[in-house]
Amino acid sequence: MKKNVISMVGAGALSLCLTMSLAACGSANSADESSPKQSSSQTTKTATPQTSSSDKKSSTASSGKYASIDEYVQSSEVQSQLASVKSQAESGGMTLDVRGEDNALVYDFTLPAGMSASTAGLADKLNSGLDGQASTFQSIATMMKSAVEVDNPVVRVIYRDSAGTTITSRDFASQ
């Protein structure tokens, strides 16, 4: 149950990240806009994931939690949800890597060529978008406590240019 909830929230957050990223990328290409575009609607994936026997074996038996964030990300239920989100990112010219690193659930976006760390105002626009989504990421970090055997989980969002240079990165801790 807890895994299902965190999976749905995680998928929703990824869709949110993707929407925010695409909006920020579109704004950076237009010199006359001073703030990122905001989508008037948000898409949230609400699939009911099935837990496979391999997922059950790898989770901590006594608590029903995953042993690590990376194990959670690698689970079949999360991977199936990530496939469509990654496809959406790719159709927008971006790549998305989602992984677990120690206590962090990492959303690592690589922007398309032409969008670099030196693009005027890009970092500010991305940071503004992250500010607007802070409570969402903090809520995901809070929910991770009930799904994963990790102390003090955080959600880390990284934006890179096509050369791999970090444009901005931020960690969001639970509330």
Residue showing tokens 């689970």 = 75
Structural domain of residue 65, as residue ranges?
2-31+57-173
- 135 assigned to some structural domain: yes
Q: What is the pLDDT of residue 162?
A: 92
Q: What is the pLDDT of residue 12?
A: 45
- Cα distances from 134 to residues 105, 127, 130, in angstroms, run 14, 10, 6
Q: How many domains does the chain have?
A: 1
Token representation of residue 168: 């901005």
- 44 assigned to some structural domain: no
If residue 157 lies in a helix (H) or strand (E), which one and from where to where? strand 154-160
- 42 assigned to some structural domain: no
- 87 assigned to some structural domain: yes
Q: Beta-carbon neighbour count of residue 112 at 10 Å?
A: 12
- 88 assigned to some structural domain: yes
- 50 assigned to some structural domain: no
Phi, psi of 21 (to 5 degrees): -65, -45
Q: What is the pLDDT of residue 60?
A: 53
- 52 assigned to some structural domain: no
DSSP 47-109: --PPPPHHHHHHB-TTT--BSSHHHHHHSHHHHHHHHHHHHHHHHTT-EEEEEEETTEEEEEE
Digitized pLDDT (tens) for each residue of the chain, 175 residues in all:
334 434 433 444 444 454 444 343 443 333 333 333 333 333 333 333 344 444 444 455 577 899 999 999 999 888 988 898 888 888 888 999 999 999 999 999 999 988 887 787 889 999 999 999 999 999 999 988 988 999 999 999 999 999 999 999 999 998 8
- 37 assigned to some structural domain: no
34-60: burial string, b at 16+ Cβ within 10 Å, e else: eebbeeeeeeeeeeebebeeebeeebe
